[in-house]
């Protein structure tokens, strides 16, 4: 009797794993959405060949901040990479990368992942997820950008090991306030548990909120690898959008007056999407990799809508493992965590 029960329980867990894994690799996707679709009318070239651009955030006047050199970030990226933050003016074509000088009284051991910015009058505050090169600390770093000297001046670190466990992405909602995603429950200090959590596709991700120095969880540990995060306002209500990387969905939460989140619905998406970028026209773009780990895909959520359309699809021949997409004027940017960074100029 006990043996039969164990067999049944194991069969259930194997079935759940196979169902989740088949979604993750896009096994059940519409084949019509897996046909090549490139940026017609654009000339493309690679700005970075090896260490990519994991995330991009833009100011209202077209200044782009870029994280590059994510690593290590196990179990996905095991090797160290030369970390850097770049800036570029998207109003100039062709675009040019310029590395930003980081000024800090602390040794930040920068290992940058997601980022976002907040414009407060003439000040630009930049928030960067930092795993530290030795994986000893999980933090979100706050900087002020000085455009005259092209410097990011460090202000402070948000650190809370009980809340900021495995931070992936961040969205700033004030000069000293943000929401962020924990992709896993397991931290870098428990690598075996982290690997089991990743390969078993357990849904233990979460969303956290920090205001000044107070950080607290705003969801339970139930999200299948919470990845990219952003906000938008529809009909006077501000929503937080979270990519469920292990599912083919985006979770939508309403922000309450006290900062809490209330889940409202999901939006159908492609699996293994990575980061959001909010366009000036109100539409939201998201990039990810199709048929892990090779292909790339870009989707667009229409302004004031949950409707979505496909913008780009590649099987990996042109671009591998997309993580972020930006379109501004004559320029298109497509980044990846640890591969290439591509810029395209309208012909």
Rg over alpha carbons for the chain, rounded to the nearest Å, is 20
> Both tokens of residue 239?
């929503």
Task: Kindly give the residue spans of alpha helices, DSSP state H, lying in the chain.
Answer: 2-24, 191-199
Q: Give the C-alpha separation, 83 to 337, whole Å.
A: 11
Q: Would you state the pLDDT for residue 31?
A: 53
The share of the chain scoring above pLDDT 70, in percent, equals 89
For the chain, what is the domain count?
1
Cis-peptide into 125, omega within 30 deg = no
Q: Would you state the pLDDT for residue 147?
A: 97
Q: Does the pLDDT at position 34 exceed 70?
A: no
Identify the domain containing residue 8 by its residue range: 2-346
CATH of the domain at 126: 2.120.10.30
- Tell me: the pLDDT tens digits for 232-276? 999 999 999 999 998 899 999 999 999 999 999 999 999 889 999
Residue 10's pLDDT band (cuts 50, 70, 90):
very low
- Tell me: the pLDDT tens digits for 47-89? 998 889 999 999 999 999 999 999 888 888 887 888 999 999 9
Q: What is the pTM of this model?
A: 0.91
Q: Give the C-alpha separation, 299 to 309, whole Å.
A: 6
- Tell me: the pLDDT tens digits for 201-239? 899 999 999 999 899 999 999 999 999 999 999 999 999
Phi-psi category of 26—alpha, beta or left, where left has phi over 0 and alpha has psi -120 to 50?
left
Q: Would you state the pLDDT for residue 339?
A: 84
- Tell me: the pLDDT tens digits for 136-176? 999 999 999 999 999 999 999 999 999 999 999 999 999 99
Phi/psi at 292 (5° precision): -45, 140
pLDDT, the chain, mean:
90
């Amino acid at each position: 009797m006990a043996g039969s029960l164990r067999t049944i329980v194991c069969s259930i867990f194997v079935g759940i794993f196979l169902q989740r894994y088949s979604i993750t690799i896009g096994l059940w996707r519409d084949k019509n959405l897996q046909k090549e679709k490139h940026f017609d009318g654009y000339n493309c070239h690679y700005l970075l060949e090896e260490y990519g651009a994991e995330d991009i955030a833009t100011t209202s006047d077209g200044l782009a901040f870029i994280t590059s050199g994510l690593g290590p970030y196990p179990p996905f990226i095991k090797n160290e990479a030369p970390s850097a933050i770049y800036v570029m003016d998207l109003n100039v074509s062709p675009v040019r990368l310029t590395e930003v000088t980081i000024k800090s009284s602390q040794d930040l051991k920068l290992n940058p992942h997601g980022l976002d910015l907040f414009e407060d009058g003439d000040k630009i505050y930049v928030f960067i997820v930092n795993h530290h090169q030795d994986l000893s600390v999980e933090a979100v770093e706050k900087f002020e950008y000085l455009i005259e000297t092209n410097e990011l001046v460090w202000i402070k670190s948000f650190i809370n090991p009980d809340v900021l466990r495995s931070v992936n992405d961040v969205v700033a909602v004030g000069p000293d306030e943000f929401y962020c995603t924990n992709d896993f429950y397991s931290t870098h200090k428990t690598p075996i548990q982290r690997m089991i959590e990743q390969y078993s596709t357990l849904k233990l991700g979460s969303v956290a909120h920090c205001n000044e120095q107070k950080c607290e969880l705003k969801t339970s540990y139930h999200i299948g690898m919470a990845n990219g995060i952003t906000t938008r306002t529809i009909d006077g209500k501000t929503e937080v959008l979270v990519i469920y990387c292990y599912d083919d969905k985006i979770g939508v939460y309403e922000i309450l007056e006290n900062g809490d989140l209330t889940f409202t619905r999901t939006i159908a998406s492609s699996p293994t999407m990575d980061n959001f970028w909010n366009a000036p026209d109100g539409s939201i773009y998201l990039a990810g990799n199709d048929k892990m780990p090779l292909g790339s895909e870009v989707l667009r959520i229409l302004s004031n809508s949950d409707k979505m359309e496909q913008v780009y699809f590649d099987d990996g021949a042109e671009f591998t493992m997309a993580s972020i997409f930006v379109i501004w004027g004559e320029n298109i940017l497509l980044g990846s965590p640890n591969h290439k960074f591509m810029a395209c100029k309208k012909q």
